[in-house]
Amino acid sequence: MSIFAHLSPSEAAGGTSLPVLDDQIVRAPARRKVPVEVDLAFTIDRTGSSAEFARGIVTAVPMIANAIAERAAKVRCFLQSHGDLDYHEHPVMLVSDGTTEMVAEEVSRMQFGGGGDALEHHLDGVKSLFETVPWRGNRLRSRSCLVLFSTADTKPLTSGMSAEALGAMLREAGVLVYAVAEPSQGIEALVKAADGLSFAISNDPSPEEMRSIAAKVAASISASIGQAA
């Protein structure tokens, strides 16, 4: 029997009273979480090249993290910023094994500046994050996700490793790779080798554009979580 059989006409029409069934308040059932643990790691280009999407970052990163937290049984969050190594701007881990709230707070504090030219060390930022996060590695019960935010193209890895080799290493480790970036040859080579997904942004993305992309990234990760259940 429909619960609406117990409602008054005004309630059924959308009144403010809560529907009642057998003297109990009827509430929308909470969405059941999938028994999967997720390592969710972000690396964000903090150089002046990325100043254009500073507003969108504040919205997009927490949106992705919160969507995954609503879906997975447990989420460990990692947040790194990276700069231009030619100017001694090394990757900095801002949140390690933290919460979505910690990520949102640190992202809101980020300052964008530095770097001396258009190209940045995005690949080194990805490699540093991959090597720093203690990934769980159990592909049946967990998911490992790395999300890159960047603008401009990337410089080659300082180690001499190719973008393709780094992507293959991520793929073999079971790390899902997502790039939210301006279209560029180096990033596309990384993502393709990693069997990841890239989401193109303009060089001056609006918060609405970033919010749309964040929803797509979260949906993809959520779908992967469902497959692991």
Q: Report the greatest alpha carbon distance in the chain.
A: 72
Is residue 190 within 8 Å of 147, Cβ to Cβ? no
What is the reported pLDDT for 18?
Answer: 40
Q: Which residues contact 172 (CB under 8 A, 6 or more apart)?
A: none
Q: Which residues pair with 150 in a beta bridge?
A: 181
End-to-end Cα, the chain, rounded Å: 32
What is the reported pLDDT for 28?
Answer: 44
Beta strands in the chain (DSSP E): 20-21, 24-25, 34-45, 72-82, 92-98, 142-150, 175-181, 197-200
Q: Which residues contact 201 (CB under 8 A, 6 or more apart)?
A: 53, 151, 180, 181, 182, 209, 210, 213
Rounded to an integer, what distance in angstroms lies between the CA atom of residue 200 and that of residue 179?
8
Q: Helices (H) and strands (E) in the chain — how many of each? A: 7, 8
What is the reported pLDDT for 31?
Answer: 60
Predicted TM-score of the model (pTM): 0.83
220, with CB counted inside 10 A (0-12, 13-18, 19+), is middle
What is the reported pLDDT for 25?
Answer: 44
Output the CA torsion sign for 108, 114, 118, 121. Answer: negative
pLDDT tens for the chain, 229 residues: list them. Answer: 433 334 444 444 444 444 444 444 444 445 678 889 999 999 999 998 787 777 788 889 999 999 999 999 999 999 999 999 999 999 999 999 999 999 999 999 999 887 666 789 999 999 999 999 999 877 778 999 999 999 888 999 999 999 999 999 999 999 999 999 988 999 999 999 999 999 988 767 777 888 889 999 999 998 988 776 5
What is the reported pLDDT for 117?
Answer: 66
Tokens 């280009």 appear where?
45
Cα dihedral angle (59, 61, 62, 66), rounded to 10 degrees?
Answer: 130
What is the reported pLDDT for 23?
Answer: 46
> Has domain 34-228 been given CATH number 3.30.1060.10?
no
H or E element that contains 65: helix 54-71
What residue segments make up the domains of the chain, in order of their start?
1-30, 34-228
Q: Which of 51, 202, 52, 213 is nearest to 147 (CA)?
A: 213
Residue 87 per-residue DSSP state:
G
Q: What angle do CA 144, 228, 27 make, to 5 degrees?
A: 105
